[in-house]
């Protein structure tokens, strides 16, 4: 299996499944207080605010390790989007990152998708977004 690292937005990328991070209680994962990390914010924008609408309705799972599968988002090339709960942004660290990455990998492996794009913000301790995509 080959992996490639990129900083491109997830929304227009060709993949069968995209994995995104969402934070609890409107934690400023994107610096705007939306609870969406930067890659998730890009997918939200591409889908006409679908993730934000789900968050406002309380339907977006944001607790550490919680998840929500979304299918057929307008403006997103992937047929499946896995929104992974990252918990509170100020508690997000390497250990929590590994936990949600392993959970997301297990969940994605249980689908028919063979091309998976993992687009989760990596913690770095200085508050800067170090988003990357692993395809």
The CATH number linked to 77 is 3.40.220.10
The tally of domains found in the chain comes to: 1
Quote the domain boundaries for residue 37: 5-134
11: left (phi over 0), alpha (psi -120 to 50) or beta: alpha
pLDDT at 67: 93
Say if CB 37 and CB 88 are below 8 A apart: no
Q: What is the CA radius of gyration of the chain?
A: 13
pLDDT at 14: 64
Mean pLDDT check: name the lowest of 37-41, 44-48, 69-73: 37-41
Nearest residue to 83 (alpha-carbon basis) of 113, 97, 56, 62: 62
| Residue indicated by tokens 């988003």 | 131
pLDDT tens, 96-132? 888 888 888 888 888 887 777 766 666 655 444 444 4
Cα–Cα dist 114/132, whole Å: 19
């Amino acid at each position: 299996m080959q992996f490639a690292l990129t900083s491109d937005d997830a929304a227009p990328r060709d993949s069968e499944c995209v994995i995104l991070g969402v934070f609890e209680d409107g934690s400023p994962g994107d610096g705007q207080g939306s609870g969406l990390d930067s890659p998730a914010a890009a997918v939200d924008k591409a889908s006409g605010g679908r993730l934000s609408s789900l968050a406002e309705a309380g339907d977006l799972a944001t607790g550490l390790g919680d998840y929500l599968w979304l299918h057929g988002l307008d403006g997103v090339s992937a047929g499946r989007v896995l929104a992974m709960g990252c918990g509170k942004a100020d508690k997000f660290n390497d250990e929590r990152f590994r936990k949600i990455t392993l959970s997301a990998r297990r969940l994605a492996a249980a689908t028919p998708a063979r091309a998976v794009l993992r687009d989760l913000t990596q913690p770095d301790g200085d508050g800067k977004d170090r988003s990357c995509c692993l395809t």
